[in-house]
Amino acid sequence: MSGGQTKSALRSRKDLRFDIINYAILTIIAIIVIYPLYFVLIASVSDPSTVLNGEMWIFPKGLTFEGYSRILHEGSIWLGYKNTILYTTVGTTINVVLTVLAGYALSRNDLYGRNVIMVFLLITMFFSGGLIPTYLVVKKLHLVNTMWALILPKAVSLFNVIIARSFFQESIPKELLEQAKIDGCSDITFFARIVVPLSKAIIAVLALFYAVGYWNSFFDALIYLGDDSKYPLQLILRNILVVQNELASQFVTDVQSAEVQQRVASLLKYGVIVVASAPLLIIYPFVQRFFVKGVMIGSVKG
């Protein structure tokens, strides 16, 4: 065997060892990430006593769909679902529009004072007014107990603005703007007809970032909302998880036994987690290709 073939064989063995170690590590990480989701799924259709006693590990035991049956007939859960969809849709739309506009404006070299503007914006990443001053501002604007209290205070994320700005700087050639101006194209027309169609990847990424944030948020609703009919789904889920004893009697009014109430409440807990997570798990595969492309292109260079 020649020297070149020997080196090739050694390199192949090293590659094989690297692949084995790499796949082993990725498999362990995948199990760590996926198993909790799988556990919640099978726990939602298992007898709660088997879950509490640690008898259920891989397959459901004491198969029951009572939890999902009660979820389907529980009006407050579906009202929370409707509210969450409304807040997520409206909030994400506002966030994406403002973020794209800000990111594109800050990417233009002809924006007067853009470096000064960036400095002022960056300060907000490290310093904030705090919860109490923010609440007082929201109250002064008469936004308390409205959906706008969940949307307007966080209408723009500077981190996402920086990602969008970097994307526009790297993906929209200056020559394209110069040629468009020669052809008589205004800035607004150039942005609407050229920039936006070329920015589908970053728009999808921003929409996903903001939508996940709204979908999983409960703290703002806990602070600003006092009307149960305006609660988002995650706040209802939080109440089920944290205040389970009280909600056992609230959601299971047709059962008198405290033991049975706790059993049904446990089923509701896992079932609502599955119902609340399902939409994002379904949507993500469809935007994954945009997500990877947008993050790679819009990454901030050092």
Domains in the chain: boundaries: 3-43, 66-297
pLDDT of residue 6: 58
Residue 236 has pLDDT above 50, yes or no: yes
**CA separation, residue 50 to residues 146, 265, 276, 294 (Å):** 42, 15, 23, 44
Provide the pLDDT for residue 302: 43
pLDDT score recorded for residue 125: 79
The pLDDT tens digits of the residues spanning 192-223 come to 888 888 888 888 888 888 988 888 888 888 88
In this predicted structure, the answer to whether residue 34 has a pLDDT above a threshold of 60 is: yes
Of the pLDDT bands very low, low, confident and very high (cuts 50, 70, 90), residue 96 is very high
Residues 275-285: pLDDT tens digits? 888 887 787 77
What's the pLDDT at 28?
92
Q: Do 207 and 92 touch, CB atoms closer than 8 A?
A: yes
Question: Tell me: the pLDDT tens digits for 67-90?
Answer: 777 777 777 778 888 899 999 999
Burial class (CB within 10 angstroms; exposed 0-12, middle 13-18, buried 19+) of 125: exposed
Predicted model pTM: 0.76
pLDDT at 292: 60
Give the integer Cα–Cα distance in Å for 131 and 133: 6
pLDDT, residue 296, reads: 57
In the three-class reduction of DSSP (H, G, I as helix; E, B as strand; rest coil), residue 128 is classed as coil
Q: Is residue 92 over pLDDT 60?
A: yes
State the DSSP string of 55-93.
--SSS-SS---HHHHHHHT-HHHHHHHHHHHHHHHHHHH
Q: How confident is the model at residue 246 (pLDDT cuts 50, 70, 90)?
A: low
Among 186-195, 238-247, 259-268, 284-293, where is mean pLDDT lowest? 238-247
The reported pLDDT for the residue numbered 300 is 47
pLDDT band at 132 (very low <50, low <70, confident <90, very high): confident
How confident is the model at residue 244, as a pLDDT?
53
The pLDDT value recorded for residue 293 is 59
Token pair, residue 86, equals 């409304």
**What's the pLDDT band for 291 if we cut at 50, 70, 90?**
low
In the chain, what percentage of residues exceed pLDDT 70?
A: 83
CATH superfamily of 66-297: MetI-like (1.10.3720.10)
Over residues 237-250, mean pLDDT? 60
